[in-house]
Chains A and B, each alone.
Chain A
Amino acid sequence: MAQVPVQTIHRDPQLFYWILFPITIVMILTGILRHYATVLMSSAPKPLDLRSTREQRSLLHGISLRTNFHVLSPRSFHSRRDAVITAYESGAYLKDPERKGQPPANPMTDPSSMDGMMGMMKNQMAMIIPNTLIMSWINAFFSGYVIMKLPFPLTIKFKSMLQAGVGTKDMDPRWMSSISWYFLCMFGLQSVFNFLLGNDNAASQMAQQMGQMGPQAPQMFGPGVDPNKQFLAEAENLAVIEHHSVLDGVEQRLLEGIRV
């Protein structure tokens, strides 16, 4: 069986100094810039007025009562539950009780909900603009250069992705062009940003995209959610709880624990 000769390409070592390092440094600096831009642009959440704070807190109160009922004694749990359910069903905690039966306001017209949308828009912009700029920068200056060889073999399918702009048919797909180094940087620099900027940085666009693709938690107090319906659902959840305490049978467990 004939050995396939290993392709060697003589490259100018100056390629490293003028292509590889600039792309890497620009990627790192862009990440840092994006992090600080996100930090600077993030507007502090507006303080809510008294009545909407009461609405949100009382709903949270019901939820924590439902999740932590086992640390309460039966009597105190039942009295709490009765009070909370009565208030929920009568709508005592609602922000404006007279609008109880009406559908929620359109989130587009409500000025208070526009802030959240603006924040999301800003984040999207902070991701899209640098990516487009760097992509076009690399395409304009560095397209068509073969700079490096991957240390592991790839199938021929990757050729069109890794060697975009290099019009050589028979070249091993292990050789990569500058644009594929850009992609590698985009995926792999997360650990560098972790090291430089701390843990919850906003530098990597990949992490943010992952977060958006994942199952999104249903918005609790967002625009367009009817608080009265939330209260009624929570009251129903509370009503079906069959109470037991963690202290039920604690003597038995203690005796089992100290048996020699």
Chain B
Amino acid sequence: MPSQQELDFQISPLVQESLVHNTRTLHNLQSLTASLFGVGAGILGLESYSGFLFYLVFSLITTLLFYALRIAPTAISSPSSSSSSTTSKGGVLSRYFRSPLDFWTAGLTNGLAGFILTWTLFYGLVRA
């Protein structure tokens, strides 16, 4: 007999293409906003730790807004999460993304290179 987890997955399967699409949408948003945060940090003239802190805080805010505006409303209106069945154990996130940890932290590494590029550029332009 299959394990309980395997059976859960077979009863409510995840469509691989949709997961990839969701992750890609989030990735696009994060890499674009990271570049814009770099512009902001450069114009403000932030240096070293405060700049990275700026990036950390704002990219977390972006992910939080994405969660609040795009994921939470659909989760409330969908019927399957309101009925507390065994399948909604992993929370709402697992219905749309691979894992919660991935969802919250992947954005930090996605946009870091773009952030550093625009941060350096605008810092150099403003402080020339």
Contacts and interface: CB of A to CB of B under 8 A. Distances in A.
Contact of A187 (B31, B34, B117, B121): B117
Contacts, number: 78
A20 B124 contact: yes
A192 B24 CA distance: 15
Secondary structure of the B side of the interface? helix
A61 to B, nearest CB: 19
A208 to B, nearest CB: 15
A257 B11 contact: no
A-B pairs, 10 with minimum CB distance: A188-B117, A191-B31, A148-B124, A191-B114, A188-B113, A151-B123, A152-B48, A187-B113, A188-B114, A70-B10
Interface of B: 1-2, 7, 10-11, 24, 28, 31-32, 34-35, 41-42, 46-49, 51-52, 83, 85, 111, 113-121, 123-125, 127-128
Interface of A: 11, 13, 16, 20, 24, 70, 147-153, 176, 184-185, 187-192, 194-195, 199, 244, 246, 253, 256-257
28 contacts: A13-B128, A16-B124, A16-B125, A20-B124, A148-B120, A148-B123, A149-B123, A151-B41, A151-B46, A151-B48, A151-B51, A151-B119, A151-B120, A151-B123, A153-B48, A176-B120, A184-B120, A185-B117, A188-B115, A188-B117, A191-B34, A191-B114, A192-B114, A199-B24, A244-B2, A246-B10, A256-B85, A257-B85
